[in-house]
Structure 1
Amino acid sequence: MLRPRRDAACRCGAAALGLAHRAAGGPVSPSGGRGKALRASLLTLAAGGLGGFAFHLAGLPAAWISGALLLTLALALARVDVQVPKPIEIASYVVLGTSMGTALTPDLVAQATTWPVSMAFLTVSVFCTMAGSMLYFRHVARWSLETAFYASAPGAFSAVVGMAAESGADLRRVAFAQTVRLFLLVAALPNILGAAGLASAQVAAPPQRGGWAEVALLLAACAACGLLAGRVRMPGGVIVGALLASAALHLAGLSTATLPMALLVPAFVVLGCNVGVRFRGTSLYTVREMTLVSVVGFVVSAGISAVFAVLAALATNDDPGKLLTAFAPGALEAMTALGFALGYDPAFMSAHHLFRFAGLSVALPLMARLLFAVREGR
């Protein structure tokens, strides 16, 4: 009775190995056709799901995100073509943003009285984190002033890279330092918090409310708002737009639906894969050359932000793990989703990371103009 099942499993395993072998031929060229892109996408998502499932079985924090990230990263460094289709990435952001917004209730809003205090600490933290990291990159790593400045920005990856590209900075170093910091935050922070007893190892499944029809209507409304937010270049784009729409519908009593884990787990996997895909095309020589510098830069920035997070926790008598995650100097979407995966208040997470992102987007051009003008004696 068991032989047919074993034979079927062997055939499935052989097919998966064959798919991996065929997908390992390098990046997809513009004329490569849709077949290569489809195989690369399937391999990436399957590997991410496998990594997330392994971490889930091991009981690790934010398992589906960090497991997917690590296995996708391994494939990228092995020169396997990895990619996440843009529609799937957007769909995952809609799901995550919608689910975060369902947690915003009148009771939760009433708990926000201490947020101005923590945001004041966050403001000082951002400036000190950037100053400390910049001193390291400039005077220890000997990077140029422009490169050190943009590599030190704690988050706002797309805005930072866009501004760095027009400044004469070494874009490879800027992007690598930013990507390594995001990778280490997503991969290491959950495990550090879990080891310190500051986060639960697994995401608690939210109580299911509403049928699939109500869930579908909620997702449709949030997708429309998320896509609009992305089009008008709102900070955080799709995920924040969907979050705001979901929160507004729930606060107004127009929806009571929550999303099941059957939707959330794939969204977590896609998020982890998307971070790992950023290392595609990175040579091992480049990794060796820049890894040490970028890792030390991460330690500097994470250490400074952690000090201010602890100070904020003492001042507000709030959960240190929540504040460490809220102050983490990473991308808005990834850090907000990571906090959500760790079981922290998504409204608190999104508010603090959105505040940091918006502040950086406004302050960076002004700071750059002032800094570079001073250097040139103008």
Structure 2
Amino acid sequence: MPALISRSDILPVLLTLAIAAAGGGLATLIGLPAGWLMGGALAVTVAAMMGAPVRMPDGLRNVAFVLIGMSMGASVAPDSLSLLTSWPISLAALAIELVIIVAATGWMLTKVFKLDAGTAYLSSFPGHLSFVMGIAATGVGNSRQIVIIQVIRILMLTIAVPVGAVFLPIDHFAPPVTEDFLGPIQLVLLAVGCVVAGLVFIWLKVPAGMVLGAMAAATAAKLGGLYAEAMPVPLVVGTFILTGALIGSRFVGITRAEFMAAAKGGLIATAMTVSIVTVMAMGVAQLVDMPFGQIWLGLSPGALEGMGALGIALGYDTAFIAAHHVIRLLMLSFAIPAAVVLIRWAEKRAAVETPPPPP
């Protein structure tokens, strides 16, 4: 069995992980949503663009893929499916909103900014960032452009929502604390199941098989009642650091023109997304007796921990907000793989239909 890291890669890998940990720690300290992931990705990105010898070998990359899948599956609430019967109008709006966001922003990025379908549509999914980037890291789309667009989306949301909340009454409550975590034996068994499922998905030639297989195994076990505990916090943080390092390492050799093209697309895509969410929230507010801000936070396109914290601060029904974000992530868990399969199918069909160049 090959080593996860070759001897010549040890120092560059340690440097890369140290940069990711430092960037993630700083981002978390200043309160950036998904700080360990986004801060690590940004720090390694900057280091890579400055010419630092950042590196993430394939062996460590596969470890990150399994951990990403495990984390996503473990984050699904056991009663997620039963929540579908609650708040039917807003949940229907959420489903419609996700389709409109992905279709509209994906179309814009392909037609206006000429991005390939994989890059455009993975950039358009509002949330599940580590899952999206795990798939992108396997070769679907341009992960460099995807991370720029997704980072801009999260940063704009972080700025826009508190500004809108300035005019609303604010109450403060203590956030809930998770106390039950998976034990060592449970983690080992879950990891083995995720690896086996990942290998099966790879054998079946499913795109991003290791990530999707691990996620499918962890989700099935969670919804099947085999475990209810959360992933240990240090392991989740480590997963985000690994993922951030993996994302940032893709920026080696990126050009300024490439960065600027993705940044412009990200700003427009985020503005479109926020506008769509706002219109949908206004429509739902006409049909249900809820504060507009609560509906908007429930339908917001990502940053679950940030939106949840704002909901607590504003005195809204956090069960409503949390349930909608859980359902959004559950919807994306099925929508993202389906979109990847469709993109791959369309690419293969286009390759078959494209006539060969003249000799």
TM-score by length of 2: 0.68
CA distance in structure 2 between the aligned counterparts of 1:357 and 1:306, rounded to whole angstroms: 24
Give the drift of 1:41. Answer: 0.9
Contact 1:206/1:260 (8 A) holds in 2? no
1:130-160 superposed Cα distances (whole Å, 9 cap, x missing partner): 33334433xxxxxxxxx55548722188789
User: Structure 1 207/80 Cα, relative in aligned 2: closer, same or farther at 3 Å?
Assistant: same
User: Structure 1 316/232 Cα, relative in aligned 2: closer, same or farther at 3 Å?
Assistant: farther
Structure showing greater radius of gyration is 1
Q: Are 1:308 and 2:272 counterparts? A: no
Contact 1:226/1:241 (8 A) holds in 2? yes
Q: Are 1:278 and 2:246 counterparts? A: no
Alignment of 1:253-268 (within 5 A): 253-268=225-240
Give the drift of 1:269. Answer: 0.7
**Equivalent residue in structure 1 for 2:144, among 161, 179, 186:** 179
CA distance in structure 1 between the aligned counterparts of 2:148 and 2:239, rounded to whole angstroms: 17
Partner of 1:126: 102
Give the drift of 1:235. Answer: 4.8
Alignment of 1:207-226 (within 5 A): 207-226=179-198
Q: Are 1:228 and 2:195 counterparts? A: no
CA distance in structure 1 between the aligned counterparts of 2:306 and 2:212, rounded to whole angstroms: 16
CA distance in structure 1 between the aligned counterparts of 2:182 and 2:234, rounded to whole angstroms: 15
Contact 2:77/2:326 (8 A) holds in 1? no
DSSP-derived class of the 1:208 partner: coil
User: Structure 1 297/184 Cα, relative in aligned 2: closer, same or farther at 3 Å?
Assistant: closer
**Equivalent residue in structure 2 for 1:193, among 157, 177, 181:** 157
Report the residue type matching 2:274 in the other structure: A
CA RMSD in angstroms comes to 3.9
CA distance in structure 2 between the aligned counterparts of 1:323 and 1:237, rounded to whole angstroms: 30
Q: Are 1:154 and 2:126 counterparts? A: no
Contact 1:77/1:279 (8 A) holds in 2? yes
Report the residue type matching 2:301 in the other structure: T
CA distance in structure 2 between the aligned counterparts of 1:251 and 1:192, rounded to whole angstroms: 33
Report the residue type matching 1:309 in the other structure: V
Partner of 2:328: 348
Contact 2:106/2:117 (8 A) holds in 1? no
1:24-56 superposed Cα distances (whole Å, 9 cap, x missing partner): xxxxxxxxx933322111110111111111222
1:314-360 superposed Cα distances (whole Å, 9 cap, x missing partner): 5567754564435xxxxxxxxxxx75797764563252254145236
Partner of 2:263: 295
Contact 2:193/2:217 (8 A) holds in 1? yes
DSSP-derived class of the 2:120 partner: coil
User: Structure 1 257/106 Cα, relative in aligned 2: closer, same or farther at 3 Å?
Assistant: closer
Partner of 1:144: none
TM-score by length of 1: 0.65
CA distance in structure 2 between the aligned counterparts of 1:347 and 1:89, rounded to whole angstroms: 28
CA distance in structure 1 between the aligned counterparts of 2:63 and 2:307, rounded to whole angstroms: 21
Contact 1:122/1:308 (8 A) holds in 2? no
Q: Unaligned stretches of 5+ in structure 2?
A: 123-131, 166-174, 286-293, 309-321, 355-359
Q: Unaligned stretches of 5+ in structure 1?
A: 1-32, 138-146, 164-173, 327-337, 374-378
Length, aligned pairs only: 301
CA distance in structure 2 between the aligned counterparts of 1:70 and 1:117, rounded to whole angstroms: 33
Give the drift of 1:312. Answer: 4.2
Contact 2:80/2:326 (8 A) holds in 1? no
Q: Report the identity percentage.
A: 22
Give the drift of 1:64. Answer: 0.6
